Chain A
Amino acid sequence: MVKTRKIEESVFKVLMIASITLVLCVLAGILIVIVMRGASSLNLAMFTQTPEGGYYLGKGGGIANAIVGSLYLAFGASLLSFLFGLPIAFALQKEYLGRRLARMTRLSLDILWGTPSIVYGAFGFIIMVYLGLRASLLGGIITLSLLMLPIMIRSIEEVIRMTPPELKEISYALGTTRMETTLTVVLRQALPGIVTGVLLAFGRGIGDAASILFTAGYTDYIPRSLFDPVASLPLAVFFQVATPIPEVQQRAYASALILLIIVLLISLGSRLLSHRCSKHIVR
């Protein structure tokens, strides 16, 4: 009897270790395959040149248009959603909204977080048709910033909520208004959260393809104004891998590698930066 119980425990332990190993191996597999395939077709021209004539038939050129385009889109959208997101994250404190309304807002943000990006794409498309915009940098930025907003607010707000209430009360006891306390004490406490939130949203935005498929378009040129269509890395991967020409597919692998490197760098950067910013935090 005791023996079977012990055996059950060991069987499950083996299964568990096998499962976690499987998960880690799959991730390693993804990274290794993308790096190997991508590295072999990566060269300097990929970074510096825009596609030349016949690029999609395997002739010369690079994906500078997509790299620059993706950065434009992600920077623009991060800025826009930060401008809206930070006040909203602050407002979720109980001094402003009260517990009930704050809880409701959190729930609605969580739902937005889970909304498929293709739905954002379709909605962005409707707005653009309504405003008379064509697929453009501006359209892409608006759609992406809607997608980023819940991610940014929720991760900033998680950290704001960790602010010790005593700290705020000390500040209030000195006669500050809510806004003064928010902008001096809470802002400083929330700094690591703000950094992580912005970078998390940036990373999510730069890798998202479905939402900008309708709204940003695709072009071989680097956009000169907000109303030009813009290329992006995820769509570069998506379009290039669908062609039957091996050279172009190679470039899809290289584009994917560039995208992966950007995303990993951002994730690494957010860890380092938030660690740095948390030096002056009171816990």
Chain B
Amino acid sequence: MLSHFIIKANIRWKRPKEMVWRRVKDQLAAKSMILAVAFANSIALLIALGLFIKSIPILEKKSIFHLLLSSSWHPLKGEFGFYPFIIGTLEVTTIAMILAVPVCLLSAIYLSEYAHHRFREFARVIIDIMAGIPSVIYGLWGVIVVVPFVRALGKVLDTPTTGYSLLAGGIILAIMVSPIIISVSVEVLRTVPIQARETALALGTTKWEAIKHVVLRSALHGILSAIVLGFARAFGETIAVLMIVGNVPKVPTSIFGPAYPLPALLANNYGEMMSIPLYNSALLLSALILLLIVSAFNITAHLTLMRIEKR
């Protein structure tokens, strides 16, 4: 098997001149690769910078605190308060996490600790497929299934609702983030050494006690990172939420009421963006806020996961 590769490596022993040429080619390739890497590294900064430059006009007119804390959204009058949108995003994401985290963690523990390895492989494929379903399809499913469900639930609980609500958005987001939470958690749980479990079991614990006191404790940081990654994903999700959350620019009062998350604001108004000068700037500022918040979460989570991987 190895000889096959060595032959394919196709090494020729030729004149020194050719050797020099090979070195030059290698150097050129390495230099251009490093250039490409520099490009890749600068994309994130470029995006942040581009959005920042475009949002300078609005930042010059109004203070950032005023923009973040005012709840008056009247673009025609030049009032851009992001408060309802930020609160809307936070609430819909929080609902999603409350729904998703327990189910996902229990599933992850089952897959990592109890399940037969064949079932684990099967579940991994299924979860991969789930992660690959486009968000617009989740949104459509939300419109067909979740919205009527929430409407019916509202009727039972005597709170009339159209169904296009925080709760519906939260349910869909919970479904959308579960693949990432489950798959990262399973990976983290698998990194806990088998000896740790065996030591606990040898002390006479039940399997669940070993998991609770030993496995979960040593995987705690990784699992938190998985949750944070899910949170960041939910925070920036656009199309699916936009389709079912109702989009009314007010601070939401109940989970059966509509909300208007930040990404939805951005997606909904792109058509009018150019017509009102400050509007464009305000919307791009909202994209910048979104990027900064999501990146902050992602950086924390990935740094933690990297540290775990290194161990």
* A29: min CB distance to chain B, Å: 7
Q: A residues within 8 A CB of B306?
A: 103, 106-107
A49 interface residue per 8 A CB criterion: no
Give Cα A29 to B26, complex, Å: 53
Contact of B137 among A96, A109, A181, A259 (CB under 8 A): A259
A90 interface residue per 8 A CB criterion: yes
A6 interface residue per 8 A CB criterion: yes
Query: Who on chain B is nearest to A262 by CB?
Result: B134
* A283: min CB distance to chain B, Å: 10
Q: B residues within 8 A CB of A242?
A: 243
* B118: min CB distance to chain A, Å: 14
**Count class of interface residues, chain B:** 35 or more
Q: A residues within 8 A CB of B59?
A: none
Contact of B141 among A34, A171, A235 (CB under 8 A): A34
Give Cα A167 to B4, complex, Å: 12
Contact of A267 among B39, B106, B128, B239 (CB under 8 A): B128
Instruction: Please give the number of chain A residues whose Cβ is less than 8 angstroms from any Cβ of chain B in the complex.
Output: 100
Interface centre among B8, B26, B128, B137 (most CB of A within 10 A): B137
Q: Flag if A256 contacts B302 (CB, 8 Å).
A: no
B229 interface residue per 8 A CB criterion: yes
Indicate whether A16 sits within 8 Å of B107 (C-beta atoms), given known contacts A87-B36, A115-B294, A238-B136.
Answer: yes
Q: Flag if B39 contacts A27 (CB, 8 Å).
A: no
Q: B residues within 8 A CB of A115?
A: 44, 47, 236, 291, 294-295, 298
1/0 contact string of B10-28 vs chain A (CB within 8 Å): 1100000000001101100
Query: Who on chain B is nearest to A240 by CB?
Result: B140
* A152: min CB distance to chain B, Å: 11
Q: B residues within 8 A CB of A263?
A: 132-134
Indicate whether A97 sits within 8 Å of B34 (C-beta atoms), given known contacts A153-B40, A256-B136.
Answer: yes
Contact of B208 among A12, A107, A123, A184 (CB under 8 A): A12
1/0 contact string of B266-302 vs chain A (CB within 8 Å): 1100100000000000011001001100110111001
Which residues of chain B from 229 to 279 have any CB-CB distance to chain A below 8 Å in the complex? 229, 232-233, 235-239, 243, 263, 266-267, 270
B92 interface residue per 8 A CB criterion: no
B130 interface residue per 8 A CB criterion: yes
Q: A residues within 8 A CB of B270?
A: 121, 125, 213-214
B196 interface residue per 8 A CB criterion: no
Q: A residues within 8 A CB of B140?
A: 34, 237, 241, 252-253, 256
Give Cα A91 to B111, complex, Å: 35
1/0 contact string of A156-182 vs chain B (CB within 8 Å): 000000000001001100111111111
Q: A residues within 8 A CB of B303?
A: 107
Q: B residues within 8 A CB of A167?
A: 2, 5
Q: B residues within 8 A CB of A252?
A: 140
Q: A residues within 8 A CB of B134?
A: 206-209, 234, 259-260, 263
Which residues of chain B from 33 to 72 have any CB-CB distance to chain A below 8 Å in the complex? 33-34, 36-37, 39-41, 43-44, 46-47, 50-51, 54
Q: Flag if A109 contacts B22 (CB, 8 Å).
A: no
Give Cα A89 to B136, complex, Å: 30
B219 interface residue per 8 A CB criterion: no
Q: A residues within 8 A CB of B229?
A: 114
Which residues of chain A from 231 to 268 have any CB-CB distance to chain B below 8 Å in the complex? 234-235, 237-238, 241-242, 252-253, 256, 259-260, 263-264, 267
Query: Who on chain A is nearest to B233 by CB?
Result: A114
Query: Who on chain B is nearest to A210 by CB?
Result: B238
1/0 contact string of A52-67 vs chain B (CB within 8 Å): 0000000000000000
* A135: min CB distance to chain B, Å: 10
Q: A residues within 8 A CB of B106?
A: 12, 15-16, 18-20
Q: Flag if B239 contacts A238 (CB, 8 Å).
A: yes
Q: Flag if B207 contacts A170 (CB, 8 Å).
A: no
Q: B residues within 8 A CB of A176?
A: 9, 11
Which residues of chain A from 86 to 122 have any CB-CB distance to chain B below 8 Å in the complex? 87-88, 90-92, 96-97, 101, 103-112, 114-122
Query: Who on chain A is nearest to B109 by CB?
Result: A16
A-B pairs, 5 with minimum CB distance: A116-B236, A207-B134, A91-B33, A16-B110, A177-B26
**A16-B114, A107-B302, A203-B132 given. 20 additional CB < 8 A pairs?**
A8-B209, A20-B110, A22-B103, A23-B103, A29-B145, A88-B36, A91-B33, A108-B43, A115-B291, A116-B291, A119-B290, A126-B54, A167-B2, A178-B29, A179-B26, A180-B9, A182-B29, A209-B134, A260-B134, A282-B5
Write the residues of chain A forming the contact surface with B, with a CB cutoff of 8 angstroms: 5-6, 8-9, 12-13, 15-20, 22-24, 26-27, 29-30, 33-34, 37, 84, 87-88, 90-92, 96-97, 101, 103-112, 114-123, 125-127, 146, 149-150, 153, 167, 170-171, 174-182, 184-185, 188, 200, 203-204, 206-210, 213-214, 234-235, 237-238, 241-242, 252-253, 256, 259-260, 263-264, 267, 271, 280, 282
